Structure 1
Amino acid sequence: MQQAEPPEYAAVEPARTETPAEQADRNWVDLLQEFRVLQTGVQVLGGFLLTLPFAPRFQSLDQIQRVGYLMLVVLAAINIALLLLPIALHRRMFGWQRKPQLVAAGHVIARVAIAGVALLVAGIAAFVFDVVLGHLAGLIVIVVMLIFMSLLLVAVPRMAGGKRPRRRDGLWTPPQ
């Protein structure tokens, strides 16, 4: 009996043969895994932000830094709420046989959440530089981080993804 080649040497995977319901289930599971990663990261960042007012140095922040800090707390809270939205939608639509609509909504939510997390990470980095080195350093870091995040999270996936697969029977299929 001949052994199968390891995945790294195997030929490109042929198109899946799955029903629309199976594809929707698989896509939903993929989205949930992405949401778990995002939600954990946002909750950790938000938790650290919530500890800052209890640090002795917090009282020495100027008005701009305090406003920046509060904006980051609100942004973290918005991101957490956004990442809870797919769960709320799933609870609402449970048993309605609308998984494709749920997946479509989850896709949009995931894209918005990725942008929100990028803003949060850039904002936190800028806040730290602002507190440690001053307002100019914070401003430079926010600009650099936003450019970097845009390249990393928008440009790289577009270049790596190639052409968008063609749509057939409501399913995304690989190009022929």
Structure 2
Amino acid sequence: MNKCIYFLLFLIGLTSCNQDISINNTGVMQGVKDNVAWRATDARATVESANTISIEAVTINETLTLNIPLPSRFVSPSNKIDPYDLSKINNGDVTYSFSIDGVTTDYESDLDIDNPGVIAITEYDGQTISGTFRFNLKNTDDSSEEAKIVNFQYGNFYKVPVTP
């Protein structure tokens, strides 16, 4: 009788175990910002025009936006395109802002910065976009007490959903 009860409890325990899997439909963007791990809570990409895509990542008080040329074709690891060199793209194509106690500080890419950085698209299928990035961004307010340069390195974005 005891064996039957133990066996019955074992079967109940086995059948009550389940795995709750939820689908996360948001992209991931992360990297190292000023030598500290940084990760966005949400990332989205929007086709702005026939030749521009905007990838935006947000946290509670930060926004990082990459405005880059829209790939002219689908991209895969075996079908690569050249990285976008920020020293050859217009100022302000990458922006970062954060707010603390109601004060917002804005940074943007600037051609006058040493080693402005690069953005590389590793995958693009029209539905999602993935890639890597590293760059330095300049504080847009010369009178600000915040750091004059913010540095992102080892950055990547993965399967960020693209909205036409």
Mark yes or no: TM-score above 0.5: no
TM-score by length of 1: 0.21
Higher helix share: 1
TM-score by length of 2: 0.22
Higher strand share: 2
